[in-house]
């Protein structure tokens, strides 16, 4: 950052020309009046219409705003049950029964913004501030590899001490980690990034460093609420954030992830905002929609009063509804439920069609390598609802008939962006996923599982292999032979074989 | 076989950019060896698609990596064509071809 002050740095983050070039007739893609109109016009939808919409989603077609608004207003419990079942079926068609596992790694909590709901906000003097050195990041990654993690979401505050160069350095440090396991060697194979909006040039730095997915959440799509929640700093610019995925895509990062922080504004509105965002990405980038959608709920944060006094807190029932509608509205996308939620609710929400979740989650700076388990509000962005170990989560998923996948094959085979979107929409990616899920689950069981999880996991793997052998897609397909060869080799200790 | 190598060598002299070149190389190799071929540029662990099998891409049974200038490229083949694939002879031609797009 040279001699530039933190304030000057923050004042220079937003580049108007990197917003303006995406606008259409000076307007962005969040049409507030249209969203309100769709919501108003689709109250009390009739059953036949809702069932038609469900059928459309089951054919893996993205819903339009009127259809989504109609689902958001369903009141009949029986219809909600049908929608929930359809959501799981959509997920099975696109992703089969696997759940991708990841862990968050927080690298820094210095921030130039002052978001009213966030523990990292700059005016929060209770927060213990820290930026991990590359060596400390490496130590965190080593701890995560020893637990069995292969995929991370790495999180940074918005601050010159954690700029794009720092991010690239941390990505490199994480990829360098290699740890001995019971039968092989463990590494982090995919580093996804959750970071504040960047310029195209900065995104190119992350691209060259080997970023997986770039994730950032709009928090809320409702402008007045956004303005109130984000009073200062670069984050106060709604459009700079709204178009950050466009800039990432322009820089070559073709897996981008969107999300909203539910609880800031009305949940129905922000579901519509996410849908509009997905539609805009599809329109601008040849059908490439969001790689994943996240729907965190506002959680209490230290010295951030708004987090405990919002008018829009989302109840558990509303939360399940919004997840169900998102699953049906954007059927091809991955859906992430995190350890913000308590174990029982997370279990229920996974059954609504989620594709990814985290485990053994710690969000304090240095929490993995320094092994502090207590949730220190002064070191965290918010309070977690679920701190269970990876082994416990994997076992629970296996008991639910779901296979934990540590697969990172897609982005190491050129299957990103429009390539993976096409395969997702036609159901082919799910077939690859199933094979790679079994291979990585085999690795994980042999290298990390407890005896109890191993026992349940072996049963699940036998069932999965049986299904693969019976599946018409694999019959007379050389993939099956390749898979069986790889499975044998992985069982014997070879690592990181994928299709 | 000689005409095949000449054709491969000539691809980089045609019009178009690196992506077009990758597409043509993948098509030529695919036709010649009867396997699915994808070309990627490698950034650390990310293999970023350049050209080739695309939507019909059916996995990778064999991966070959080569450097051209400061860049790193990867070739994905499915199924593995085995010894019939003359990688030792192909590699320098691809290095030369991709190097021609570096400023």
- Assess if residue A380 is contained within a domain: yes
Asked if A414 and B50 come within 8 Å (Cβ–Cβ), the reply is: yes
Q: Are residues A286 and A206 in the same domain?
A: yes
Beta-carbon separation of A210 and B46 below 8 A? yes
> Residue A411 and residue B43: Cβ atoms within 8 Å?
no
A175 and B57 within 8 Å at the Cβ level: the answer is no
| pLDDT, position A498 | 87
Which residues in chain A land under pLDDT 70?
1-2, 302, 373-374
Closest CA to A478 of B29, B62, B75, B49: B62
Is A281 within a domain?
A: yes
Whether residue A50 is found in the same domain as residue A187: no
> Total structural domains in chain A?
3
Whether residue A376 sits in one domain with residue A227: yes
* Structural domain harbouring A444: 423-491
Q: Kindly state whether residues A331 and A465 are assigned to the same domain.
A: no
What's the gap in Å between the CA of B27 and the closest CA on chain A?
16
Kindly report the three-state secondary structure assignment for every residue of chain A. CCCCCHHHHHHCCCCCHHHHCCCECCECCCCHHHHHHHHHHCCCCCHHHHHHHHHHHHCCCCCCHHHHHHHHCCCCHHHHHHHHHHHHHHHHHHHCCEEEEEEEEECECCCCCCCCCCCCCCCCCCCCCCECCHHHHHHHHHHHHHHCCCEEEEECCCCHHHCHHHHHHHHHHHHHCCEECCCCEECCCEEEEECCCCCHHHHHHHHHHCCCCEECCCECCCHHHHHHHCCCCHHHCHHHHHCHHHHHHHCCCCCEEEEECECCCCHHHHHHHHHHHHHHHHHHCCCCCCCEEECCECCCCCCCHHHHCCCCCCCHHHHHHHHHHHHHHCCCCEEEECCCCCHHHHHHHHCCCCCEEECCCCCCCCCCCCCCCCCCHHHCCCCCCCCCCHHHHHHHHHHCCCEEECCCCHHHCCCCHHHHHHHHHCCHHHHHHHHHHHHHHHHHHHHHCCHHHHHHHHHHHHHHHHHHHHCCCCCCCHHHHHHHHHHHHHHCCCCCCCC
Question: Which of A411, A423, A479 is closest, CB to CB, to B46?
Answer: A411
Distance from CA of B45 to the nearest CA of A (A): 6
* Residue A186 touches chain B, beta carbons under 8 Å: no
Q: A183 and A112 in one domain?
A: yes
CB burial class (10 A; 0-12, 13-18, 19+) of residue A172?
Answer: middle
pLDDT of residue A17: 97
- A263 and A360 fall within a common domain: yes
For the record, the structure tokens of A333 come out as 């996308």
Q: From the CA of B30, how many Å to the nearest CA of chain A?
A: 17
From chain B, the residues in CB contact with A423 under 8 A are 55, 57
Residue showing tokens 């990654």? A141
Task: State whether A62 and A123 are in the same domain.
Answer: no
Which residues in chain B have Cβ-Cβ distances shorter than 8 Å to A498? 60
Stretch (H or E) spanning B42: strand B36-43
Which pLDDT score, from 0 to 100, does residue A374 have? Answer: 66
Report d(CA A151, CA A51) in Å as an integer: 37
CB A454 within 8 A of CB A148: no
Instruction: Kindly state whether A415 is in contact with chain B, defined as any CB-CB distance less than 8 angstroms.
Output: yes
Examine the domain organization and report whether A254 and A268 are in the same domain: yes
Looking at the structure, tell me whether residues A81 and A163 fall in a common domain: no
Distance between CA A87 and CA A321 in Å, rounded?
11
Distances (CA, A) of A424 to A91, A278, A323, B57, B78: 10, 15, 19, 13, 20
A22-70 confidence digits (pLDDT tens): 999 999 999 999 999 999 999 999 999 999 999 999 999 999 999 999 9
DSSP B45: T
Q: What is the pLDDT of residues A72-113, one digit of tens each?
A: 999 999 999 999 999 999 999 999 999 999 999 999 999 999
Residue of B nearest to A189 (CA): B45
A residues 142-171 near B, CB within 8 Å?
171
Q: Does A425 touch chain B (CB under 8 A)?
A: no
Check B47 against A411: CB less than 8 A apart. yes
- Residue finishing a domain among A344, A377, A411: A411
A270 and A400 co-located in one domain = yes
Q: What rounded mean pLDDT belongs to chain A?
A: 93
Q: Number of residue pairs across A and B with CB atoms under 8 Å?
A: 68
Report helix, strand or coil for B4. helix
Q: Are residues A470 and A372 in the same domain?
A: no
Residues of B with CB under 8 A from a CB of A: 38, 40, 43-50, 52, 54-55, 57-61, 76, 78-79
Rounded to 5 degrees, φ, ψ at A230 are -125, 75
Q: Calculate ∠ Cα A277-A168-A217, nearest 5°.
A: 20
Q: Give SS3 for B34.
A: coil
Predicted pLDDT at A10: 97
- Residue of B45, B65, B78 for testing the chain A interface, max A β-carbons within 10 Å: B45
Q: Is residue A499 part of a domain?
A: no
Q: Tell which of A62, A87, A112 closes a domain.
A: A87
Most B-contacting residue of A209, A413, A429, A484 (CB-CB within 10 A), to test interface: A413
> Using CB atoms and an 8 Å cut-off, which of residues 347-406 of chain A contact chain B?
none
For residue B43, the model assigns a pLDDT of 92
Assigned domain for A294 exists:
yes
Q: Are residues A56 and A124 in the same domain?
A: no
Is A212 an interface residue toward B (CB < 8 Å)? yes
Cα A355 to Cα A125, A312, A337: the distances in Å are 37, 26, 8
**Using the beta-carbon criterion (under 8 Å), do A419 and B49 form an inter-chain contact?**
yes
Classify residue A2: in a domain, yes or no.
Answer: no
pLDDT score, position A21: 97
User: Given this model, what pLDDT does residue A14 score?
Assistant: 98
A480 touching B, CB under 8 A?
A: no
Please tell me the predicted confidence (pLDDT) of residue B15.
76
- Nearest-by-Cβ selection for A423 from B43, B52, B55: B55
Torsion sign across C-alpha atoms A159, A162, A165, A167: negative
Which residue of B26, B42, B48 is the best one to mutate when testing the A interface, meaning the one whose CB has the most A CBs within 10 A?
Answer: B48
The dihedral over CA atoms of A131, A169, B63, A495, expressed in degrees to the nearest 10, equals: -40
Within a domain: A496: no
Strands A356-358 and A98-106, by their bridges, are parallel
C-alpha to C-alpha distance for B38 and B60, rounded to whole angstroms:
9
Could you tell me if residue A182 is inside a domain? yes
Contact between B57 and A209 using a beta-carbon 8 Å cutoff:
no
Residue burial A395-434, b: 16+ Cβ < 10 Å; e: rest: bbbbeeebbbbbbbbbbbbbbbbebbbbbbbebbbbbbbb
* Digitized pLDDT (tens) for each residue of chain B, 103 residues in all: 689 999 999 998 877 889 999 999 999 999 999 988 999 999 998 898 898 875 455 567 788 999 998 999 999 998 888 998 999 999 999 999 999 988 6
Which residue among B45, B76, B79 sits closest to A210, beta carbon to beta carbon? B45
The CATH number assigned to the domain holding A155 equals 3.20.20.70
Choose the final residue of a domain: A411, A433, A463.
Answer: A411
**Assigned domain for A139 exists:** yes
């Amino acid at each position: 950052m040279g001699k530039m002050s933190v304030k000057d740095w923050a004042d220079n983050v937003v580049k108007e020309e990197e917003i303006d070039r995406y606008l259409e007739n000076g307007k962005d893609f969040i049409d507030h009046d249209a969203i309100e109109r769709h919501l108003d016009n689709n109250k009390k939808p009739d059953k036949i219409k809702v069932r038609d919409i469900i059928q459309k989603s089951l054919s893996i077609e993205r819903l339009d705003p009127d259809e989504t608004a109609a689902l958001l207003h369903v009141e009949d419990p029986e219809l909600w049950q049908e929608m929930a079942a359809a959501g799981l079926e959509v997920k099975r068609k696109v992703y089969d029964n696997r759940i991708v596992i990841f862990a968050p790694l927080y690298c820094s909590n210095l921030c130039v913004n002052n978001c009213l709901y966030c523990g990292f906000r700059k005016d929060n003097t209770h927060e213990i501030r820290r930026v991990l050195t590359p060596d400390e990041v490496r130590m965190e990654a080593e701890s995560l590899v020893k637990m069995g993690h292969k995929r991370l979401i790495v999180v940074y505050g918005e601050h010159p001490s954690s700029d794009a160069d720092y991010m690239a350095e941390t990505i490199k440090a994480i990829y360098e980690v290699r740890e001995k396991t019971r039968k092989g060697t463990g590494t982090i194979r995919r580093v996804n990034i959750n970071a504040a909006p960047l310029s195209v040039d900065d995104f190119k730095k992350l691209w060259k460093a080997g970023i997986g997915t770039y994730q950032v959440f709009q928090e809320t799509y409702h402008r007045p609420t956004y303005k109130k929640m984000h009073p200062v700093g670069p984050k106060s610019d709604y459009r700079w954030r709204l178009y950050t995925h466009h800039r990432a895509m322009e820089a070559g990062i073709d897996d981008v992830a969107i999300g909203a922080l539910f609880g800031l504004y009305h949940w129905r509105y922000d579901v519509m905002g996410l849908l509009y965002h997905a539609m805009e990405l599809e329109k601008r980038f040849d059908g490439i929609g969001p790689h994943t959608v996240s729907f965190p709920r506002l959680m209490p944060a230290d010295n951030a009063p708004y987090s405990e006094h919002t008018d829009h807190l989302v109840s558990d029932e509303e939360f399940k509804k919004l997840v169900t509608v998102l699953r049906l509205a954007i059927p091809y996308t991955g859906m992430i439920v995190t350890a913000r939620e308590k174990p029982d609710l997370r279990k229920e929400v996974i059954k609504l069609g989620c594709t990814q979740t985290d485990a053994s989650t710690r969000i304090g700076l240095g929490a993995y390598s320094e092994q502090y388990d207590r949730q220190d509000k002064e070191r965290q962005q918010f309070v977690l609802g679920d701190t269970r170990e990876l082994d416990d989560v994997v076992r629970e998923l296996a008991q639910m008939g779901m296979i934990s996948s540590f697969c990172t094959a897609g982005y190491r085979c050129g299957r990103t962006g429009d390539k993976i979107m096409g395969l997702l929409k036609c159901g082919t990616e799910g077939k690859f996923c199933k094979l790679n899920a079994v291979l990585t689950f085999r690795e994980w069981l042999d290298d990390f599982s407890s005896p109890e999880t191993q026992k349940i996991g072996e049963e699940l793997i036998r069932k999965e292999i049986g299904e693969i052998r019976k599946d018409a897609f694999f019959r007379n397909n050389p993939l099956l032979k390749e898979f069986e060869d790889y499975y044998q080799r992985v069982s014997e200790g070879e690592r990181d074989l994928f299709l | 076989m000689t005409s095949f190598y000449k054709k491969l060598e000539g691809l980089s002299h045609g019009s178009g950019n690196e992506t077009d070149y990758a597409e043509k190389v993948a098509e030529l190799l695919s036709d010649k060896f009867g396997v699915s071929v994808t070309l990627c540029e490698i950034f650390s662990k990310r293999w970023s698609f350049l050209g080739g099998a695309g939507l019909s891409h059916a996995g990778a049974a064999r991966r070959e990596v080569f450097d051209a200038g400061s860049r790193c490229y990867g070739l994905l083949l499915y199924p593995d064509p085995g010894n019939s694939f003359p990688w030792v002879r192909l590699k320098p031609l691809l290095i030369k071809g991709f190097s021609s797009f570096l400023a």
